[in-house]
Amino acid sequence: MMSRMSKSKLPNIVILASGNGSNFEAIVNATRKGILNANILRLITNKKCFAEERAKKLGISHTRLKDNWAEELFVLLKELAPDLVVLAGFMKILPSKIVNNFKIVNIHPSLLPAFPGKDAIKQAYEYGVKVTGITIHFVDEGVDTGPIIFQKALEIDGLTLEEVEKEIHKLEHKHYPQVIESILNS
């Protein structure tokens, strides 16, 4: 009873994903370890993806959007009324109706504004940069644009693409839950 009461006082977040879902899982684990004090209301996906399997395993309720995804998402978010919407590899551009009505945060695997869009780790690697990293930012109507909240750099000289991917994901899993926690407390 006590734990249910305290849970209801936590800020509510909704997570949107389209792919592997490793950031989604890291966020869920952070709530269970007390690193992130938030209640995860729902995982929302826009297609069949491994994030959905993780949701089942972790006991988080899940909704997959259909063809009319933007309208459906808008209605769902209105209904859920989360304190924060967290994009974790959600590969769709959100329409202004959604961006203007909800507080939304995104993570991107490069030092924005360099290498926005898909396959950012590979883009940076193939360009030959010596330093790349991660960016966490508020979401606007652009592709990986919006005010930057947090960045962490990573030196990648001498690493293989696979090693860079591994190191970038490690940084994401460590910092995204912490940054979400600080946004919810600000």
Minimum separation from the CB atom of position 117 to ligand GAR (A): 6
Minimum separation from the CB atom of position 23 to ligand GAR (A): 3
- 94 in a labelled binding site: yes
Binding of residue 137 to ligand GAR (CB under 6 A): no
Report whether 151 contacts 115 (CB < 8 A).
Answer: no
Report the C-alpha gap between 135 and 158 in whole angstroms. Answer: 22
Binding of residue 109 to ligand GAR (CB under 6 A): yes
Q: What angle do helix axes 22-33 and 161-184 make, rounded to 10 degrees?
A: 50
Binding of residue 20 to ligand GAR (CB under 6 A): yes
Q: Which of 19, 63, 114, 184 binds ligand GAR (CB under 6 A)?
A: 19
Binding of residue 107 to ligand GAR (CB under 6 A): yes
Report whether 14 contacts 80 (CB < 8 A).
Answer: yes
Q: How far is CA 150 from CA 61, 97, 98, 160, in A?
A: 29, 25, 23, 25
Stretch near ligand GAR under the rule CB under 6 A, chosen from 27-35, 58-66, 71-79, 105-113: 105-113
Q: How far is CA 162 from CA 31, 102, 106, 169, in A?
A: 28, 35, 23, 11
Binding of residue 54 to ligand GAR (CB under 6 A): no
Question: In the chain, where do the E strands start and end?
Answer: 12-17, 39-45, 62-64, 84-87, 104-108, 131-138, 148-155
169 is catalytic: no
Minimum separation from the CB atom of position 47 to ligand GAR (A): 12
Active-site annotation holder among 108, 137, 169, 175: 108
Give the footprint of ligand GAR on this chain (CB under 6 A): 17, 19-24, 88-89, 107-109, 120, 144, 172
**Which residues participate in catalysis according to the annotation?**
108
